[in-house]
Amino acid sequence: LDAAYARAASEAKASFGNEALYAEAYVEHARHIEVQIIGDGTGAVSHLWDRDCTLQRRHQKIIEIAPSPALSDGQRKAVTAAAIRMAKASAYRGVGTMEFLVDVEPGDIWFIEGNARLQVEHTVTESILGIDLVRAQLDIASGKTLRALGLSQSKIPQPDGYAVQAWINIETLKTDGTVMPGGGTLATFDMPSGPGIRVDAYGFARYRTNPAFDSLIAKVIAHVPGGDFEDAVARLSRALDETDISGAPSNLHTLRTLLADPRV
């Protein structure tokens, strides 16, 4: 601990000229919960429910769920109210995300950060609500209000079932958790299709990967209208089983194994 403290203080002083540190509480049963928000700059803000992004590797999300299956009704109400309160205080304009840690056992909530942008995982929110967030963002930027767009809080629908998204990365995950970036020319790039399956991707056969960019090459989203969380996981698992990528290493095996884990 002494060595870690000294190292962190040294880094802080070199970067900011201030070596003061603070301690953070250890959260044993943490869930990474996000709240999707949209505001029009007038002080009007709506939330578009929540996402659970707890399943990560090296602090990067690889599985996202909407809405969170872990939150109680009271916790969901508290975390969405907190997101709205912060967004209204800044007269937020556009779409964005307020991120929190939630300890689901005692129900404690901590704010992490606000992301003033559209995030990779916005797709699961679109799936459960039937709202095009990209279009809404452009409409807000053009000067329209939430009321004019029919996106006042009273007009936001309840989530319809569950949606789960998997990030497909060109990489190798070693047994010790180390991530090794991959590369090569894709020989096959076959993505799944069918009811309730959405794929956002940029790969294709004979595509030569570029190590200068993020390793994410595709997002596979499964949605089961009116279904439960287990239904959505099963649909995503089947979709990943139908996915075929060769010519460059990918994390498909990791994603398949993760979704099959009983703890998930």
- Kindly list the catalytic residues: 117
As a residue count, the chain comes to: 264
Structure tokens at 199: 């794929």
Pick the closest to residue 258 from 191, 183, 184, 164 (CA basis). Answer: 164
By CB atoms closer than 10 A (0-12, 13-18, 19+), residue 78 is: middle
Evaluate the omega torsion of the peptide bond into residue 67 and state whether it is cis, within 30 degrees of 0.
yes
Q: How far apart are the first and last CA of the chain?
A: 33
Task: Name the one residue in this structure whose structure tokens are 């995503």.
Answer: 236
Structure tokens, 79: 């975390």
Distance CA 171, CA 126 (A): 27
Return d(Cα 163, Cα 80) in angstroms, integer.
19
